[in-house]
Structure 1
Amino acid sequence: MSEQSPEQKNDNLNQTTASNSATATDKEFLNTLRGSIDAVDCEIQTLINNRAKLAQQVATVKKNHIANDPAAENTNPIFYRPEREAQVLKAVMERNTGPIADEKMARLFREIMSVCLDLEAPQRIAFLGPVGTFTHAAALKHFGKAADTVPLNTITDVFREVEAGTAMYGVVPVENSSEGVVNHTLDGFLSSTLKIIGEVELPIHQNFLVAEHTKIDGLSRIYSHQQSLAQCRHWLDVNFPNVERVAVSSNGEAARRLKNEWHSAAIAGDVAAAEYDLHKLYSNIEDNPSNTTRFLIIGHEAIEPSGQDKTSIMVSAHDKAGALIEILKPLSYHGVSMTSIETRPERPNKWAYVFFIDINGHIADPNVSAAIADIRPLVKDLRVLGSYPKAVL
């Protein structure tokens, strides 16, 4: 190797010095940025605690109002206001300027609101379990992770828990965009006086889950809920055509079973994967990428208008020709948009049916109240199941 000239050595020295200088400058700039982040974090923390203190003051005002109002004796203050939360979350998304996406920003605020509500009064939320189901995910999405979520075995159990006051609210599935309506939830309203106070729309993304000890080459069965197996039928036919598919009571149960089985896999969502410490071998395996399930929040109180609302009614029609057409005419006349209609048998009456109808608007809206008033004389019975904010997240 030839020896470098003095000029070449000088050039190399200058380049090294410049490189070291640039590195030092970068480090200084990074330290400055990190210092700015620390300052912003401190400010955010202070503001969140200020918000929490204001929430505590709201709780005190509500408690004092009940204590000083003779008409409100033996009643409990209502701390959770779904219409208020919907308005706050919509405002968050409307004023958001990025770079964080609107929905992700709203999710951050949802968790802040959840923690603040927990300071006002801890919320006990019943849901169709077990832990790790999509209903569990819907409960966390709607109430935040600070809520005390309680898994129950059946939809009927959720209704009973809320009716008894053991849980403040309940979360139950009502329909899936691919598999249709959940009849057990609709039937629950036939014998219950509970109201619908909110809704959650949850995109259903199915994952193929395995445990740390799973032998992939030796898979002999795949566990999941019947609906989830149906939603992934084509993917399973292509990828695991010869592996037995076993329907179980829930996706959470499917995930739980992998703990003691080396030859099994499960199909379930992200919450189940996290709860049971499972690995996502494949993600988003559902045949329909827009697959969505709608969940209802059930409770006791009537909800004030939020500005973007939905109303659900249950109608028992007379057994005569054209009964349904007669029911729907007032909606059209008053300009009320119907978003869905389902039919269930009116037990114990033979060949009698009940219609569950969802419409846009709040019962306090003049056109909605006028339409319902016009329908009442045409039917055997009409019950407003609730007016509530449309799903925000």
Structure 2
Amino acid sequence: MDLTELRQRIDAIDAQMVELFEQRMDICRQVAEYKIAAGKNVLDKSREAQKLEKVRSLASDEFNGFCVVELFEQIMSMSRKLQYRLLMENGRLEKLPFISVDALDVGKARVVFQGAEGAYSQAAMTQYFGESIDSFHVDSFRDAMDAIDEGSADFAVLPIENSTAGIVSEIYDLLQEYENYIVGEQIIKIEHCLLGVPGAKIEDIRTVYSHPQSLMQSAKYLSVQDWRQISMQNNAFAAKKVADDGDKSQAAIASEHAGAVYGLEVLQRKVNHSGTNSTRFIIVSGQKIFRRDAGKIAICFEVPHESGSLYHMLSHFIYNHLNMTKIESRPIEDRNWEYRFFIDFEGNLADSAVKNALRGLREEARNMKILGNY
């Protein structure tokens, strides 16, 4: 047979497969109606495992058996998604424990940021809340989360990602650990300066202090200097140390604002090599709330340590036409080589497509948590 005839035979088989697929999905719809009436869960792992083993045994060889299992995994995944949609249409989707609000109540709010006066977190806070906001600062990110838990702060401002240096991994871990939620974000441009005590010159510098990410962001500038580099917990702390020590051989890499706060002089502007360097800060609250106009959702979940498990989780976004904008992974403590995934996607918790996707993820993933809608 020539190629045209072979393709015609494939087309005929494909038409039969589509017809049989639609018959199967119609039966799946009836199964869903039964489960709705009986209050049964959509996912039945033992039944699916038995089914996959059965279809594998029907194949004529090992390769075809592998392919048939992959095909039926997809078919069963589509069946579950159909059933989740029917559950939603019948009002059987679980209600999400988040309350929508027109705007955040910041009139009498108290805000905490990590670092010291002059930190970039403070700049992000004032841009988001305004100059007159009641605020205080703490030494660590965990201290900021604790402040919300203890009720001494209503909101926390925390850096979660830099366009050059990447994610702040500790923030991801704390979001999973604490019952605090993202309710907003603020992006600010980062422009690092080399700061020294009054009267100091660049040729006087022997030691430079800054946060590890800021040192990395300024690596090109620092590579031509024979300076000792010392990491600090925060850029503002670095500026404060240089000011307190009063040593002309010391400099800090921090914002110009931090230099003004601590009475330092700018020895060199724009020492970070990227002109588009920006940091994204999140606004965190202890309340499960989201603005009605929120357009981004953050979640995290774990997956079974099995081939294809992450792929099946991500298929819920595809099926519900949701645009995933970010995915990160973090190792799970005390479970070697297993990971927790953090995902951002576009949507609002009030959207039916979002509810449908989250229902599927909650049933099929491990420890799925909504981190916020903002």
TM-score (norm 2): 0.69
Which residue number corresponds to residue 151 of structure 1? Answer: 137
Which residue number corresponds to residue 186 of structure 2? Answer: 200
Q: 1:203 to 1:214 in 2, by over 3 A?
A: same
**Counterpart-to-counterpart distance in 2, 1:83 and 1:261:** 51
**1:288 equivalenced with 2:274 (yes/no):** yes
Where 2:103 maps in the other structure, the secondary structure is: helix
Query: What is the CA distance between 1:207 and its match in structure 2?
Result: 1.0
**Counterpart-to-counterpart distance in 2, 1:83 and 1:199:** 16
Which residue number corresponds to residue 90 of structure 1? Answer: none
Query: What is the CA distance between 1:148 and its match in structure 2?
Result: 2.1
- Output the amino acid matched with 2:103: R
**1:161 equivalenced with 2:147 (yes/no):** yes
**Counterpart-to-counterpart distance in 2, 1:217 and 1:181:** 34
Q: How many matched pairs?
A: 274
**1:177 equivalenced with 2:196 (yes/no):** no
Where 2:314 maps in the other structure, the secondary structure is: helix
Query: What is the CA distance between 1:215 and its match in structure 2?
Result: 4.4
**Counterpart-to-counterpart distance in 2, 1:386 and 1:334:** 19
C-alpha contact (below 8 Å) 1:124/1:149 kept by paired residues: yes
Which residue number corresponds to residue 248 of structure 1? Answer: 232
**Counterpart-to-counterpart distance in 2, 1:130 and 1:82:** 32
Percent sequence identity over aligned pairs: 30
Residues 93-121 of structure 1, C-alpha deviations (whole Å, 9 max, x = no match): xxxxxxxxxxxxxxxxxxxxxxxx87x42
**1:330 equivalenced with 2:316 (yes/no):** yes
**Counterpart-to-counterpart distance in 1, 2:277 and 2:202:** 27
Where 1:185 maps in the other structure, the secondary structure is: helix
**Counterpart-to-counterpart distance in 2, 1:378 and 1:153:** 39
**1:137 equivalenced with 2:123 (yes/no):** yes
Structure 1 residue ranges without an equivalent (≥5): 1-77, 86-116, 389-393
Query: What is the CA distance between 1:236 and its match in structure 2?
Result: 2.5
Query: What is the CA distance between 1:190 and its match in structure 2?
Result: 2.5
Query: What is the CA distance between 1:82 and its match in structure 2?
Result: 8.3
**1:267 equivalenced with 2:274 (yes/no):** no
Which residue number corresponds to residue 103 of structure 2? Answer: 84
**Counterpart-to-counterpart distance in 1, 2:231 and 2:365:** 41
| Aligned 1:1-393 pairs, distance under 5 A | 84=103, 120-121=107-108, 123-238=109-224, 241-259=225-243, 260-388=246-374
Query: What is the CA distance between 1:169 and its match in structure 2?
Result: 0.8
C-alpha contact (below 8 Å) 2:201/2:267 kept by paired residues: no
Which residue number corresponds to residue 28 of structure 1? Answer: none
Where 1:175 maps in the other structure, the secondary structure is: strand
Query: What is the CA distance between 1:279 and its match in structure 2?
Result: 2.0
- Output the amino acid matched with 1:312: A
**Counterpart-to-counterpart distance in 1, 2:233 and 2:239:** 11
C-alpha contact (below 8 Å) 2:209/2:230 kept by paired residues: yes
C-alpha contact (below 8 Å) 1:302/1:387 kept by paired residues: no
TM-score (norm 1): 0.65
Q: 1:234 to 1:351 in 2, by over 3 A?
A: closer
- Output the amino acid matched with 1:178: T
**Counterpart-to-counterpart distance in 1, 2:234 and 2:350:** 38
C-alpha contact (below 8 Å) 1:305/1:364 kept by paired residues: no
Structure 2 residue ranges without an equivalent (≥5): 1-98
Q: 1:372 to 1:150 in 2, by over 3 A?
A: same
**Counterpart-to-counterpart distance in 1, 2:177 and 2:130:** 30
Which residue number corresponds to residue 108 of structure 1? Answer: none
C-alpha contact (below 8 Å) 2:294/2:373 kept by paired residues: no
C-alpha contact (below 8 Å) 2:202/2:267 kept by paired residues: no
Residues 127-164 of structure 1, C-alpha deviations (whole Å, 9 max, x = no match): 11122221222122211211122111111111111111
**Counterpart-to-counterpart distance in 2, 1:217 and 1:270:** 20
Greater CA drift, 242-251 or 162-171 = 242-251
- Output the amino acid matched with 2:229: R
C-alpha contact (below 8 Å) 1:129/1:151 kept by paired residues: yes
Which residue number corresponds to residue 17 of structure 1? Answer: none
- Output the amino acid matched with 1:325: Y
